[in-house]
């Protein structure tokens, strides 16, 4: 059955057609995002939800979205999506951070010009029939120091444009490398130095716990008198009351704001102050940007629903279409390794370590981590997937670690999973053969070569004669057919294991009969998703 997507906000017809052209069924209901009750009623039918800013994807909506796999936001901001709730539900949340980068950067530059030359006020005065030429004395941008807080995608473009305007650009960004700074032609500085040196300050960071009110009252007090501030990033990055006071005192000469702490901003302490330029969150509002993000979100969602490729996700490691094709068998192996240990473990887990040797060590190991955790946790919660598993693991206090190493044995690559509880440590390893089929190659340190089937039986015993006969006879007497049979032992007469691939799940009667023989330390039925 073809995946089904709901577009609940305004998206271009070209973007909607992308879904159709890719074989995805799509319902285009651009006004539905504002009708919460109706959205709640219908959301359960859809695998994907494409939105802009009007639709609010709340925990209540997510609870009703029984089939939902992905939410795609045409734009950068996802304030309207409850990402923690989506993650716990196993729903991928994507945005489109690159479709409107240039547009937003250009708006910041335009706002800087506007506040430098008081263009909006001068325009309003002239429209009113006044000719107040001497009133609107501006400043040049050339040779002024621009402080850029956040030199990522959009901030980097602003840096590039400002250098082209012959401004002196300094940047504060903990993640900005020396090489990247040199390429942009900017000087890296700490925040306090940026505040003290800048003639203009522009913000290009997301709103987080660390960046909320990054321009606080204390920060504004450290700024050079006559500074001008531009914010086209996110509301809440500036203490608006403190900025209003600084504007009134003249310490700050002007501000240009496209975003506000509360939006829609119909009333704000900064409104109607001299030389404050305000726009209604227009950073991404160009025809080019709106079309770009719409096309991008349609492509991203289609790729995920059809091939498992993950791009620009906020709660899942990125996996390209090429990676998804190559990694498919290894992701399945990781899930099965996790599923084995999950079904064998009856007590709380303290730590999980995953070793990637050879081929998988060079893959997207973050995605493989998620697959392993998902397989492990499905033993107790069938709704867990690669998105929700890391969230649940953190909630349970499970410590996850990974190790990578070059090829070290007879296999070109393998994955080894080690899980620790209060009382024991379990290990299992597996590989993918050239036929693309995952295999278990080691359990409890005992080597073997076991094909993975949907229905399996795992036993442990002392290495003594008669085990094979007991297993075969007991299963045969109860009508259970063995598709494959694998044995392993650490040394003669010591510990041994058996892993049987069966045509059907063994009944409690069969399990009881095996236990009653007294020959087995453990008898465990196992189930694996091999589709």
Residues known to be catalytic: 234, 263, 281
The span from the CA of 372 to the CA of 352, in Å, is 10
The span from the CA of 72 to the CA of 81, in Å, is 10
Contacts of 44 (CB under 8 A, 6+ apart): 64, 65, 66, 67
The span from the CA of 281 to the CA of 285, in Å, is 8
The span from the CA of 74 to the CA of 79, in Å, is 12
CA 7 to chain CA centroid, Å, is 21
The string of DSSP codes covering 28-52 is E-TTGGG-HHHHHHHGGG-SEEEE-
Identify whether 7 is preceded by a cis peptide bond (ω within 30 of 0).
no
Contacts of 183 (CB under 8 A, 6+ apart): none
The span from the CA of 157 to the CA of 184, in Å, is 9
Question: Are the C-beta atoms of 313 and 303 separated by less than 8 Å?
Answer: no
Nearest to 46, CA basis, from 75, 19, 76, 21: 19
The CB density around residue 164, as the number of other CB atoms within 10 Å, is: 10
Question: Are the C-beta atoms of 254 and 118 separated by less than 8 Å?
Answer: yes
């Amino acid at each position: 059955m073809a995946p089904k997507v709901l577009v609940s906000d305004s998206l271009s017809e070209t973007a909607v057609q992308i879904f159709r052209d890719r074989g995805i069924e799509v319902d285009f209901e651009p006004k539905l995002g504002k009708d919460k009750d109706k959205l709640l009623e219908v959301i359960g039918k859809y695998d994907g939800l494409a939105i802009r800013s009007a639709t609010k994807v709340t925990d209540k909506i997510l609870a009703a979205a029984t089939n939902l796999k992905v939410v795609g936001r045409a734009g950068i901001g996802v304030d309207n999506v409850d990402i923690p709730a989506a993650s716990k539900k196993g729903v991928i949340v994507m945005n489109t951070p690159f479709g409107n980068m240039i547009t937003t950067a250009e708006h910041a530059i335009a706002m800087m010009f506007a506040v430098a030359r008081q263009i909006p006020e001068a325009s309003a005065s002239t429209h009113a029939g006044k000719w107040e030429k001497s009133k609107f004395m501006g400043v040049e941008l050339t040779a002024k120091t621009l402080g850029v807080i956040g030199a990522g995608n959009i901030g980097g473009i602003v840096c590039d444009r400002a250098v082209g305007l012959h401004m002196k650009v300094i940047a504060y960004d903990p993640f900005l490398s020396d090489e990247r700074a040199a390429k942009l032609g900017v000087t890296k500085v700490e925040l306090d130095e940026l505040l003290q040196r800048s003639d203009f300050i522009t913000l290009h960071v997301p709103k987080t716990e660390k960046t909320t009110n990054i321009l606080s009252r204390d920060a504004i007090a450290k700024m050079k008198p006559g500074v001008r501030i531009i914010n086209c990033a996110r509301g809440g990055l500036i203490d608006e009351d403190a900025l209003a006071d600084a504007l009134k005192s003249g310490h700050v000469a002007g501000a240009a704001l496209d975003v506000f702490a509360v939006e829609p901003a119909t009333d704000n302490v900064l409104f109607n102050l001299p030389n404050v330029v305000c726009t209604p969150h227009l950073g991404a509002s160009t025809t080019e940007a709106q079309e770009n993000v719409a096309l991008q979100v349609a492509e991203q969602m289609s790729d995920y629903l059809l091939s498992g490729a993950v791009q620009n996700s906020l709660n899942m490691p990125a996996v390209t279409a090429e990676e998804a094709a190559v990694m498919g068998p290894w992701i399945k192996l990781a899930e099965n390794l996790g599923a084995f240990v999950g079904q064998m473990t009856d007590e709380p887990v303290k730590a999980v370590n995953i070793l990637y040797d050879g081929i998988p060590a060079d893959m997207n190991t973050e995605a493989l981590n998620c697959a392993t955790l998902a397989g492990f946790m499905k033993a107790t919660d069938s709704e867990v997937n690669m998105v929700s598993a890391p969230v649940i693991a953190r909630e349970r206090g499970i410590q996850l670690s990974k190790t990578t190493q070059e090829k070290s044995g007879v296999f070109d690559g393998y994955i080894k999973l080690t899980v620790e509880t209060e009382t024991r440590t379990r290990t299992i390893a597996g590989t993918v053969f050239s036929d693309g089929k995952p295999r278990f190659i080691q359990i409890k340190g005992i080597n073997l070569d076991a094909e993975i089937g949907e229905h399996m039986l795992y036993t442990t015993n002392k290495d003594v004669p008669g085990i094979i006969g007991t297993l075969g006879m007991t299963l045969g007497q109860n009508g259970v057919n063995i598709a494959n049979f694998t044995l392993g032992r650490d040394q003669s007469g010591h510990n041994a294991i058996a892993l049987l691939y069966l045509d059907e799940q063994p009944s409690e009667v069969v399990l009881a009969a095996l236990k009653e023989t007294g020959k087995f330390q453990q008898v465990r039925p196992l189930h694996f998703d091999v589709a």
